[in-house]
Amino acid sequence: MIGALSASVVKHGWRSVRSGGLPFFFAVLMTALGMFSLTAFGTVLWNFRALARAVGESVAAVAFLKVDDAAAAEETRARIQLTPGVESATLMTPEEALQRARRGLSGSAALQASAGLTMPWVVEVVPRFSLEDGESARLELVQRIGALDGVDEVLHPGGELKRIDALLRLLHGAGLFLAVLIVLVVVVVVSNAVRLTVLVRKDEIAIQKLVGASDAFVALPLLLSGVVQGTLGAVIALVTSGIAHASLARVVRVALSGALGTFTLDPLPWWILACVIVGGALLGAVGALLSVARFLRTSS
Amino acid sequence: MIGALSASVVKHGWRSVRSGGLPFFFAVLMTALGMFSLTAFGTVLWNFRALARAVGESVAAVAFLKVDDAAAAEETRARIQLTPGVESATLMTPEEALQRARRGLSGSAALQASAGLTMPWVVEVVPRFSLEDGESARLELVQRIGALDGVDEVLHPGGELKRIDALLRLLHGAGLFLAVLIVLVVVVVVSNAVRLTVLVRKDEIAIQKLVGASDAFVALPLLLSGVVQGTLGAVIALVTSGIAHASLARVVRVALSGALGTFTLDPLPWWILACVIVGGALLGAVGALLSVARFLRTSS
Amino acid sequence: MIELYHVGKVYPGADRPALDDVNLSIGKSEFIILAGASGAGKSTLLRLLFCAEQASSGQVILQGKNLARLSRHEMAKARRSIGVVFQDFKLLPALSVLDNIALALEVQGLSRDDVVRRCLKVLNEVGLSHKTHQPIAALSGGEQQRVAIARALVVEPAVLLCDEPTGNLDAERAREVMELLITAHVRGTTVVVATHDPALLSGGRRRVVALDQGRIAHDAPAAAARRSDQRFDAA
Amino acid sequence: MIELYHVGKVYPGADRPALDDVNLSIGKSEFIILAGASGAGKSTLLRLLFCAEQASSGQVILQGKNLARLSRHEMAKARRSIGVVFQDFKLLPALSVLDNIALALEVQGLSRDDVVRRCLKVLNEVGLSHKTHQPIAALSGGEQQRVAIARALVVEPAVLLCDEPTGNLDAERAREVMELLITAHVRGTTVVVATHDPALLSGGRRRVVALDQGRIAHDAPAAAARRSDQRFDAA
Ligand SMILES: Nc1ncnc2c1ncn2[C@@H]1O[C@H](COP(=O)(O)OP(=O)(O)OP(=O)(O)O)[C@@H](O)[C@H]1O
Ligand SMILES: Nc1ncnc2c1ncn2[C@@H]1O[C@H](COP(=O)(O)OP(=O)(O)OP(=O)(O)O)[C@@H](O)[C@H]1O
Ligand SMILES: [Mg+2]
Ligand SMILES: [Mg+2]
């Protein structure tokens, strides 16, 4: 009896998928679009953190040491390395520092005088980059390093960092806003699509009720079709974004790699993809549940 | 006759709006969401160009002059100003230049030696910024300025610019991609929503055909309801984005102003808003037309 | 008025033709009863006259026009001069009685006042004035059938096609409806009524065309009460 | 089996009650004909028995249960033991004949094999075996009516409610359908048939309950052919 009933539920679910016609494909399409946007955005966000890290690391601070020999310099470097908030600290000999200064001190007018220049030992400090830390955290780090034994002075490229920071913040903010919008749209679209399926099938449901169908008998196929809608949408979205990724990744790499070192657009990890599919199914189920519940209440 | 017929068309249009029920409000909602996304994105893009300009202008090149007096320096500045691709050129006396060098030559290790530094006359050059110009255009500009009489050497902050450039490019690319996606979604959603209205009203339309309604009599009310859907959606979108703008503009200004000078999030100009409304109405009409045409063909 | 030459109709996927070599000539202002068992092809024949289906073979001529050759526009125009009572009524359950009947007039571009006036008149004739603003869903089966008849009559059609117009009516109501049809007939309308109602068939005062499995089984001209404005017709 | 005590029904927005102080007792395995003019309240009474409407006043008892007190679940269960032929058929035009009939059995959780077997059997009984896989929309009015009857019979119901089951059938078909109903009756089913068909009313071999404007006008016990398994009932 239970077996036959559930077979019949599956059959009716499949029929409602088949006969759902336009609203069904509409729902699948919309779910796919929404999920695709989410995935695409997720990929950007995912890689955005990598991007942010790359940008952050390329903006190093420089500590000038007041030491005389390599051993003392190495000791100071080690001490800087251990300071909280420091990602890495690299030692440069005075010669290397002078080379660097000669080579690429862009934005500086001091090159003119560099012929008669002498340099101290220098440590290049890469701060641990995080978007959440404000300007003050960074200043504090500079002061902390400056207070260390053997460190003469610390310079850090405030202006440049601030500017990139602001851009990254903007990206992040706009991104969150977009994400919320997309999730809202997907929920509304899917639940409405299922409601439309119910609307289109309302004659059939009315007759089922007349011949004595229980609420479960009516609701389960609709729920099933909602889940199928959501899952199908999610799968299509993943396939599409896979294709998009394959074709776009090269473009993005070529466009960005010059400036920021090798930058690759990684695909999302498998567990996020799994979440997208489960999320699609859930969205479909919730949408179906909402509209079916409302429908059962109003019809008798 | 024509008068009565058009009155009847309006009446039927209104009835199809009223009886459209769920699909109608669904369509309006979806159009509103789509249009809202478009408007929000448009605002970002609109202000993004301002942002890009601000970023671009803050990244100046520096020309060192080989002149001795203020008059010759001013003459050279004027010549630089006239070079194509130069947005502005500002003269600095050697003393000012030295001050600048002492103050904020961040990322440079040359400060140590600046005590014995002498500076020439300096012109700060702001290139006309545009995203489309590549690195080569900028190099060409530097060379062109460097070749001018009285100019000794031109330095420009290549690395920093490249980095910001890459970010801006990314934003722009992702933005275009999103815009295309949103337009697609809006078109699909609206045309499907009208198709669903047709689906829900198909009994009524079938009976109208049976009692001798002409194609126009059937199609015009549907077209009207499509236009109403689209327009209503666009208006709702504009109102919503107006509210969103009012509440977000302050936040954005506060977040960005520190780094990039006073940066305000301007609203879109009125003619773009008008385009959004007309676009909504058009989308609705096109969606309606497509589905009505298809429907008239299949039913007799 | 109506001429059928060797008309056949085979529905796609059907095992046998619904109509088979039907020849029929109906004069202007005739009153014809179309008899036949369930599935004999009565509704199919009416659907052909109403351009709801195309004949598979043969020719259907209505008011001098070959229905197979009508453009969409001409077809719509032709339908406006035909009143049809459908076997399943084809009413809109959510709309009021008035709006359902008004549909047939609005399509012709009449002003709202004219539409309402004529609707109320015909509603009065079918005895449903008290239901004017009720939705169709709130009517009994017989009341719905009378609304369907009212919608067919309201356009004062040149041809009136009635498919089982008294199936849901008691004897009393059925007689009233038949009188309405006869009134229309007297005004000059060509009336074709498909029915199994023995009360309508009996008496022999009307021309009865009987269908059997898609063929005309017999075609008995009216024995008596033949009206002067009726032409004789070669069957 | 079925008891109505002072039952009244006023539809919201209606000018007069559709049923007014109706008292009726129908015994197990009785065969009742519900007569009355169009709009008398026949369908309304059947709708009350079927829980499609709630009585405005009075009590409706079916198989010992007060219908006003049933939970949604109990109501669904009660409906599974009732077969109904609706006046407007309530079939799904897009589904096949088989699927339409199967609906009534699927709801009960039968296996597909059982469902198909019983559907084919009942389709054979109503003479529509050759239409099994046709969509309802491709059937004539009378054929659709027989599908509706088949769907009511297929569940082998304890109570069979038929609203105008022969309105679209010719005399021959109508007699066949009546014989099906009588067969069910002989098997022990309580049958209530609402009709205006004079052929069904005449003869006086069945108990006829006549409604007039929502009130019981007369209730004539069957004059002859009373079956042994029928109880006498106080009207
Ligand atoms: N759309 C269709 N597709 C396939 N077959 C059809 C279609 N419509 C009708 N038929 C078949 O054609 C035959 C004649 O149908 P029609 O509706 O003309 O009968 P009828 O004389 O009106 O019968 P009734 O009195 O029962 O209404 C029937 O066997 C029917 O099943
Ligand atoms: N849902 C409803 N809302 C309001 N009034 C209704 C509703 N259903 C029926 N009525 C009214 O109640 C009265 C009785 O209707 P009912 O359908 O019971 O008549 P009936 O005896 O079945 O008539 P028929 O033989 O024409 O089918 C009619 O006047 C009808 O208009
Ligand atoms: Mg028929
Ligand atoms: Mg009734």
Residue B12: its pLDDT value, please? 66
Please give the residue that has the higher pLDDT: either B96 or B76. Answer: B76
pLDDT digits (tens, 9 = 90+) for A106-134: 334 444 444 445 667 878 777 665 545 55
Chain D's closest residue to C197, CA to CA, is D170
Q: What is the DSSP string of B149-170?
A: TTEEEEE--HHHHHHHHHHHHH
Q: Cα–Cα distances in Å, from C2 out to A229, C49, C158, C190?
A: 52, 8, 11, 9
Question: Residue A152: which pLDDT band, with cuts at 50, 70 and 90?
Answer: confident
Burial of residue D220 (number of CB atoms within 10 Å: 0-12, 13-18, 19+):
middle
| Contact list, D200 vs chain C (CB under 8 Å) | none
Q: Which tokens belong to A267?
A: 């695909």
**CB pair distance less than 8 Å for C76 and B207:** no
Length of chain A: 300
Chain C's closest residue to D169, CA to CA, is C38
With the most atoms of ligand 2 within 8 angstroms of its CB, the residue from C139, C149, C168 to mutate is: C139
The answer to whether residues B122 and B64 touch, using CB atoms and an 8 Å cutoff, is yes
Helix A215-260 and helix D72-79, axial crossing angle in degrees, nearest 10: 120
Chain A's closest residue to B109, CA to CA, is A101
Judged by its nearest atom, the ligand closest to the C-alpha of residue C97 is: 2
Apex D66 CA angle, D61 and D71, nearest 5:
140
When computed from its CA atoms, the radius of gyration of chain C, rounded to whole angstroms, is 17
- Nearest-angstrom CA–CA distance, B84 and B144: 9
- Nearest-angstrom CA–CA distance, D163 and D86: 5
* pLDDT average, residue stretch B1-13: 64
Chain centroid to CA A128: how far?
20
**CB pair distance less than 8 Å for C112 and B8:** yes
Which uninterrupted H or E stretch holds B64?
strand B61-65
Q: Which of B66-75, B117-126, C193-202, D155-164 has the lowest mean pLDDT?
A: B117-126
Q: Which tokens belong to C229?
A: 């404005």
Report domain extents, chain B. 2-55+162-299, 60-156
* Cβ neighbours, 10 Å, residue A123: 29
Residue B219: its pLDDT value, please? 85
D214 CA distance to ligand 2 middle (Å): 10
* SS3 track for A143-199: HHHHCCCCEEEEECCHHHHHHHHHHHHHHHHHHHHHHHHHHHHHHHHHHHHHHHHHH
Q: Whose CA is nearest to atom 18 of ligand 2?
A: D41
Judge whether C111 is closer than 8 Å to chain B, CB to CB. yes
Judged by its nearest atom, the ligand closest to the C-alpha of residue D143 is: 1
Residue A159: its pLDDT value, please? 52
Residue linked to tokens 């009585």? D55
Helix A2-58 and helix B158-200, axial crossing angle in degrees, nearest 10: 160
- Nearest-angstrom CA–CA distance, B223 and B289: 6
pLDDT digits (tens, 9 = 90+) for B211-270: 999 888 888 888 888 888 889 888 998 998 888 888 777 666 655 554 445 556 777 788
**CB pair distance less than 8 Å for A109 and B118:** no
Residue A9: its pLDDT value, please? 67
Whole-model pTM: value is 0.75
When computed from its CA atoms, the radius of gyration of chain B, rounded to whole angstroms, is 30
* Residue numbers of B between 168 and 227 with CB closer than 8 Å to A: 168-171, 173-174, 177-178, 181, 184-185, 188-189, 192, 195-196, 199-200
pLDDT in tens, chain C (235 residues): 899 999 999 999 888 899 999 999 999 989 999 999 989 999 999 999 999 999 999 999 998 999 999 998 999 999 999 999 999 999 999 899 999 999 999 999 898 999 999 999 999 999 999 999 999 999 999 999 999 999 999 999 999 999 999 888 888 888 888 898 999 999 999 999 999 887 777 655 789 999 999 999 988 776 543 333 333 333 3
Residues 6+ apart with CB under 8 A from A234: A31, A32, A35, A276, A277, A279, A280, A281
Judge whether B137 is closer than 8 Å to chain A, CB to CB. no
Q: What is the DSSP letter of D135?
A: B
Residue of B53, B58, B112 to mutate when probing chain A, most A C-beta within 10 A: B112
pLDDT digits (tens, 9 = 90+) for D125-134: 999 999 999 9
Cα dihedral B73, B77, B78, B81 in deg (nearest 10): 180
Residue A99: its pLDDT value, please? 63
Q: How far apart are the first and last CA of chain C?
A: 13
**Nearest by CB: B55 against A51, A163, A259:** A163
Question: Residue B33: which pLDDT band, with cuts at 50, 70 and 90?
Answer: confident
Q: What are phi and psi of B83, to 5 degrees?
A: -65, 135
Domain range B60-156, its CATH number among 3.50.50.60, 1.20.1730.10, 3.40.30.10, 3.30.70.3040: 3.30.70.3040
Residue A291: its pLDDT value, please? 77
pLDDT digits (tens, 9 = 90+) for B79-127: 888 887 777 788 878 777 666 655 443 334 444 444 445 667 878 777 6
Residue A119: its pLDDT value, please? 66
Please give the residue that has the higher pLDDT: either A3 or C130. Answer: C130
Judged by its nearest atom, the ligand closest to the C-alpha of residue C14 is: 1
Q: Measuring CA to CA, which residue among A273, A300, A253, A236 is closest to residue A30?
A: A236
Residue B111: its pLDDT value, please? 43
Residue D143: its pLDDT value, please? 93
Q: Which of A163-172, A217-226, A231-240 has the lowest mean pLDDT?
A: A163-172
- Nearest-angstrom CA–CA distance, B134 and A112: 28
